[in-house]
A and B are shown apart, each in its own frame.
Chain A
Amino acid sequence: MIRSRPTLRRLVVTTTATGLLALAGCSAPTVPEEPAGRRTFVVATAGESDTLNPVLNYGVDGASLIFDGLVARDAGNRLVPGLAAELPTVSADGRTVTATLRDGVLFHDGGALTATDVAFTYQAVLDPKVDSTLRSDLDMVESVTAPDPATVVFRLRYPYAPFLQRLTLGVVPAKLLDGQDINKAEFNRKPIGTGPYRVESWTPGDRLVLTANERYFGGRPANDRVVVAFVEDDNVRAQRMRAGEFDAAELPPKLATGFAPDDTYRVEQVATADYRGVMLPMGNPVLADVAIRRALNLAVDRAAMVAGILGGTGDPAFGPVPPTSEFAEPSIVGKPTADVTAAAALLDAAGWTPGPDGVRAKNGRPARFTLMYPASDTLRKDLALAVTADAKKVGIEVKPEGLTWDAIDPRMKSDALLMGYGTPYDPDFVSYKLFHSRFAGQGYFNPGSYRSQVVDQALQAGRDQADPARRKAAYATFQKQLAADVPWLFLTYLRHSYVLKSSVQGVSPRVEAHEHGVANSLWWNIDTWTRS
């Protein structure tokens, strides 16, 4: 016993010393200062794509860094020529669209871009054997042909005014994919495009490494490499941003604002077209009464939702066309705060009288409905609870219910639902399917079966007519009718927040869609970024 003591002590001492040595060895900086590091940008996002093939939905709205579409979008989301020498022309009947390709564009492997590649790309999307959800957006395309190596002709089933907006889709090289099963092609992981960067490596779940395309037709990028780190968890992304690993990272508003006081960082709150609102189904006996819907529209306090739930990083929403769009109708904008008096007066006039329990009733039917929200989405849950509290103040009882989508789907015809949609590009894109009576009750398209002849005609006119002024008038009619009928209770537009190192130069935020990952994020123009 006594003899053992020194041995034991020695053991402990040795173990501790070894441990400390190991720690010290690891703490020594092993990464040498690399001068080229100044020419590398590292960005972090949670939004990793499943594939890097535009045919399978990678970067379909352009700015995919690896690919180019026939057209691209500038900082104001206006269309500019991409692979096309100038914006494609539309025939008088609106059914033939012709694009002439830019000269001398090369793919990353050195192959020349021809019209066959463009036609192949669109034909692949339209092929039912290809697992592309983009097909739903291109159902107006009857055929795509390449009459000569520099010309692409789209033949449409019906005139579709915003068709050029659909030409941002990245073009893939036909010879690398022709005759292959596109769903399973090697290309999806190691793509070859025409864009400002080519893919050096992609480790799914970890990072995507891009290198500058020396022969990019738009000019060689101002930097050499871009690394996109995929970090799923928000807190982890914030910590690694704090550790200095990233030049830019997408972060939830509450985590992003934590960086604001620090001079080494800059926070960007980018406006989006991504709205959240409550779909009010006509199949619900209480919500079928327009007085209830209008009263709810007056009763919700959008300013409080933006300030409280979104931490100030949002804007009140009054309709499906974002205020940043040239098609936005200013007259539909209401008060951002709640107007309880007006809501109560409206309900009184419509015969909804307060009962003993504070809930209004009409002909014995209490003003009560269920509001569903996807349980995993905390933002929608918070908004649903806010709507519930606001409605209670005017005597309407809302029962919020968090469910999974499969439980929500069969109930959308009769129960209200917190949904989100929106696109910054053209009002036709989402709204046509969401509010046209033709799509009433079809899955997530118009699930509340809203029917209005005025809206149907306006949406159709916006799609049929090429004249911008007439389109604008049609969408003004549409927005006004929607504001009168209130089939949706629009609540807020979100903002995407990003944290950047202050030294990053050349950042130019533009209005974003819901989807933002590798493509179409704050780094849409990263090929022009430099460091001060």
Chain B
Amino acid sequence: MITFTNVSKKYDEITVVDELNLSIEDGEFVILIGPSGCGKTTTLKMINKLIEMDKGEIHIDDKNISDINGDELRREIGYVIQQIGLFPNLTIKENILVVPRLLKWKEEKCDKRVHELLELVGMPYEENAMKYPNELSGGQQQRIGVLRALAGEPPIILMDEPFGALDPVTRESLQDELKVLQKKLHKTIIFVTHDMEEALKMADKIVFMSDGKILQVASPEEMLANPADSLITDFMGRHAVTTEEQYHDLTCKEVMFKELIFVSETEKPLEVASKIKKSDHDMAVIVDENAAPKGVVTLDLIKQFQQADKKIVEIADTEVEKVSENKLAKDAFNQMIKDNKNYLLVMDDKNKVTGLITRDVITNSLARLVWGDMDWAL
């Protein structure tokens, strides 16, 4: 268990960590996240005394870390950094064994450990142990970086944006591997990132920091459902779940298609058809000279009546239902389904058409509720 008690750190006059209190349980995967300069990396590096705190105390189990020699403390805590930092003058095996050798492990134990660790990430000993770091790909190098941190069997591992410099595909597979490793080895992992997706995927507990202070400590689910601050909501971006209540309040205006095609009553079907084809939709709204709606015409309707000389209004669906734009979307959807309609016209209070609700609109709204606020192509 790691406990921070009123920990502060200042650089010159700038406070980067401000009276921080936090406790981390054994075996927990804790992610420190926040905008750059929020103090997350400083907080991490104070645990292994790479950065000395100015005020407060950090205890690991019952020991105050200020009573422990920094070098000895660091041998008991794994450390992985974004730039990987493998030693280019040492082989993969020697890199992995840096800490065990510092801890004066016996040679057979060292040897066994390297075999075991390389096995763990599926990199055969024979092929990899004698290679130098520059012979490996970035993803493999960081796998070794993680193994090097695990080698001395530390109960705690600190990771400073370990996958930040990797390509998305490699990053994802290393995240998955780390998650599996942690399940298997029950290490306490403290992990810094600025990537909310990574945090939500990996963490047992997310610590959100801003300006040296903790804004919220919560599980990923809890943070998604109840972000404590608008900054956290911003940070979660598309992952933020709009709560059900918010969906209950959605109005037609908020969900409707807005980019409509308007045509006049007298236009010829072929002209209308070509206008519709140029747009993203498959229908147009017919309006009179006062912009009052007369009906809706779809491409299908025009195809059914292949009579070029007819006016468009003669083949249009003139029995379209109308709803006010302030009506609840939920009610409009109900109405559509009940009356078995494919579309509703949305009107403003001056009786002008402002949008259209179709079955696609319903689908998109549902998708947003289920998968979050993505850019659904309409």
Do A and B originate from a single complex?
Answer: no
Chain A residues close to B by CB (< 8 Å): none
Chain B residues close to A by CB (< 8 Å): none
